Amino acid sequence: MSTPAPEDRKDTMVESAAGQPETPAAEAKRGPAIATRERRQGLINPSGETPYLVVEDLTVKFPTADGVVSAVNGLSYSVPLGRTLAIVGESGSGKSVSSMAVMGLHDRKRTRITGSIRLGGDEIVGLPENELMKVRGDAVAMVFQDPQSSLHPLYTVGNQITEAYRVHNKVSKDAAKKRALEMLDLVGIPNPQRRFSQYPHEFSGGMRQRAMIAMGLVNDPKLVIADEPTTALDVTVQAQILDLLNNLQKEFGSAIVLITHDLGVVAEMADDVLVMYAGRCVEYGTAEDVLARPRMPYTWGLLESIPTVSAATEKLRPIKGLPPSLLNLPTGCSFNPRCPYTDRVKGERCTTDLPELLPVDGAGAHTSRCHLHDKASIYEAEVAPRLG
């Protein structure tokens, strides 16, 4: 029998953790990355608070004519109510794919999903479509990146918000309209009575995004997934939308998953940060830990890629190369073809062994996936001075 791949071992781990406990000897053989459920819960919950969303060992694959696209591999994280988790990474890292799995939006005939996704303790993976429809828009809502394509052009904005409310609440049209007007006012759209009857093309980009947020929050969901909500907006409107999300989170007490590639937005919004690369989590912890004390070369590269006003005469330091094809991931660490520190790891481990996601200091909830043994000293001596 062949040895299972790392992702396959993680899938097996979920089953064994849910069943009979393993012996200490068996656990020791599995190594530090494949641990008991109690220990893994500590690694995927930086805040230590009771989580509302728990994702464990999520794998999402798309069979194609050219091969299997491994979009998400063994992803685990959690989000408590009232906190914001930012999932960051380059395009194609698996951020949106993982969140669409939480929403149950993937075509089941064309997608292979394994692992566990629990909302308030209820399992989502494998839930029938009619049950998922009751969850979407009620317990969890998603604010998409492009409101112009998310809003139906042939229906008024007010009609779309009232429909989202009536799907989950047995109320009259008048009651639904009243609720929609309240939400339009709450998200800061002026003159809600007039705007209620207008079409999406009559709204500005910022107002369309506000309308999408109103639609997402109309049923008081406990989890809101915001997929690049400020990408197409100018800086002033972007700040307004971020403030709006912050204020609405305080109003409703929702958990927020913020998908972004903008670390400036992360610093403004996030309580916890999960960095993804090539479908895997490569660093995870509180925003303070990940942004102030990063321990993964890919995270260092993202931070160094941020332009600063004070460094107007300096050239940007982009991450060299391109993200790998998800059809054919590199062996070992997926970041190794672009990593400038592989020569500091003895032997060929970076190209042969997949690093485990381990606590950076041997304990605690700040984890990273890297073979370097002196990450802290390298960061302090070489990377931090470049960040200013």
Residue 199 lies in a domain: no
User: How would residue 22 be classed by pLDDT, with cut points 50, 70 and 90?
Assistant: very low
Predicted local distance difference test score (pLDDT) of residue 37:
40
User: How would residue 13 be classed by pLDDT, with cut points 50, 70 and 90?
Assistant: very low
**How many domains in the chain?**
1
- How confident is the model over 352-362, as pLDDT tens digits? 999 999 998 77
Please say if the pLDDT value at position 19 is more than 50.
no
Residue 174 lies in a domain: no
The span from the CA of 117 to the CA of 106, in Å, is 14
Predicted local distance difference test score (pLDDT) of residue 280:
96
Please say if the pLDDT value at position 258 is more than 50.
yes
Q: Are 337 and 321 in contact (CB under 8 A)?
A: yes
DSSP one-letter string for 146-203: -HHHHS-TTS-HHHHHHHHHHHHS---HHHHHHHHHHHHHHTT-SSHHHHTTS-GGGS
Please say if the pLDDT value at position 231 is more than 60.
yes
> Beta strands of the chain (E only): which ranges?
51-64, 67-80, 84-88, 112-119, 122-123, 140-143, 223-227, 255-260, 272-277, 280-286, 357-359, 367-369
Q: What angle is formed at CA 367 by the lines to CA 363 and CA 373, rounded to 5 degrees? A: 80
Q: What is the CATH number of the domain that holds 75?
A: 3.40.50.300
Predicted local distance difference test score (pLDDT) of residue 370:
96
Q: What is the mean pLDDT of the chain?
A: 85
Reduced to 3 states, what is the DSSP secondary structure of residue 80? strand
- How confident is the model over 312-326, as pLDDT tens digits? 566 778 899 999 999
The span from the CA of 358 to the CA of 33, in Å, is 7
The span from the CA of 296 to the CA of 385, in Å, is 16
Please say if the pLDDT value at position 1 is more than 70.
no
Residue 364 lies in a domain: no
Residue 53 lies in a domain: yes
| Mean pLDDT on 362-387 | 90
**50/234: higher pLDDT:** 50
Predicted local distance difference test score (pLDDT) of residue 128:
92
Residue 381 lies in a domain: no
Residue 285 in tokens: 């912890």
Predicted local distance difference test score (pLDDT) of residue 232:
67
Domain extent, residue 10, equals 6-139+221-293
380: left (phi over 0), alpha (psi -120 to 50) or beta: alpha
The span from the CA of 289 to the CA of 286, in Å, is 5
Of 114, 31, 107, 108, give the one whose Cα is nearest residue 76: 114
Please say if the pLDDT value at position 42 is more than 70.
no
Residue 328 lies in a domain: no
Predicted local distance difference test score (pLDDT) of residue 279:
96
User: How would residue 205 be classed by pLDDT, with cut points 50, 70 and 90?
Assistant: confident
Residue 310 lies in a domain: no
Reduced to 3 states, what is the DSSP secondary structure of residue 37? helix
- How confident is the model over 98-142, as pLDDT tens digits? 999 999 999 999 999 999 999 999 999 999 999 998 999 889 999
> Which region among 1-5, 199-203, 219-223, 246-250 has the lowest average model confidence (pLDDT)?
1-5
> Can you give the pTM of this predicted structure?
0.83
Predicted local distance difference test score (pLDDT) of residue 240:
83
Please say if the pLDDT value at position 24 is more than 60.
no
Predicted local distance difference test score (pLDDT) of residue 43:
59
Please say if the pLDDT value at position 336 is more than 60.
yes
Q: Are 223 and 79 in contact (CB under 8 A)?
A: yes
Integer CA distances (angstroms), 133 to 97, 103, 172, 354, in order: 18, 9, 21, 38
Please say if the pLDDT value at position 10 is more than 60.
no
- How confident is the model over 54-80, as pLDDT tens digits? 999 999 999 999 999 999 999 999 999
**24/128: higher pLDDT:** 128
Residue 35 lies in a domain: yes
Percent above pLDDT 70 for the chain? 86
| Mean pLDDT on 195-201 | 95
- How confident is the model over 146-193, as pLDDT tens digits? 777 889 999 999 999 999 999 999 999 999 999 999 999 989 899 999
Please say if the pLDDT value at position 30 is more than 60.
no
Predicted local distance difference test score (pLDDT) of residue 313:
62
- How confident is the model over 272-306, as pLDDT tens digits? 999 999 999 999 999 999 999 999 999 999 999 88
